[in-house]
Amino acid sequence: VEETLVLIKPDGVARNLTGEILRRIEAKGYSLVDIRLVEPELSILAAHYAEHEGKPFYEPLVEFMLSGPIVAIRVAGDRVIEGFRMLAGTTDPTLAAPGTIRGDFGRDWGLKVQQNLVHGSDSPESAARELELWFA
Ligand code: GTP
Ligand code: MG
């Protein structure tokens, strides 16, 4: 069965949305295989976001991801990689559809796009790489 890496980013943990996000994952029928509360080293985030290195939002993004604890979850289910990204909604919470995690809870009151509550792997290759990184 397919697996993906979900991260509840520091804004999601700080806003007490962990339970709500886990509830949505479970309600969809996905299984929680492993879960941990992490304060990652910079090296983990640099590897996680290597594809964005050099972009203007890279440094603020990494700084934001270091701003508080993150919940890392190994989630399993049929087509869970694509399915979780549908649960999450589009990257920019301002534009994310109602009914999605980002659409229902994401705020853009002068906050930045990076504060979009969750991460989900975007392909089988990313999922394998990221699960190895966060659950080594
Ligand atoms: P993830 O599931 O977190 O990987 O989001 P994504 O796949 O929807 O977006 P992408 O991988 O393109 O970008 C990774 C993260 O970088 C996003 O979730 C945002 O937190 C942040 N990000 C992406 N684009 C922008 C941007 O244009 N501005 C800012 N400030 N942050 C961005
Ligand atoms: Mg991404």
- Ligand 1 within 6 A of 55 CB? no
Asked about 48 being catalytic, the answer comes back as no
Say which CATH class 3-134 falls into: alpha beta
pLDDT (tens digit, 0 to 9) for every residue of the chain, 136 residues total?
999 999 999 999 999 999 999 999 999 999 999 999 999 999 999 999 999 999 999 999 999 999 999 999 999 999 999 999 999 999 999 899 999 999 999 876 666 768 999 999 999 999 999 999 999 8
Interior angle at CA 20, CA 19 and CA 24, nearest 5 = 115
- Ligand 1 within 6 A of 114 CB? yes
Interatomic CA distance for residues 46 and 54, integer angstroms: 11
State the ipTM, two decimals: 0.89
Gyration radius of the chain's alpha carbons: 14
> So where are the chain's domains?
3-134
Interior angle at CA 12, CA 57 and CA 110, nearest 5 = 50
85 labelled binding-site residue = yes
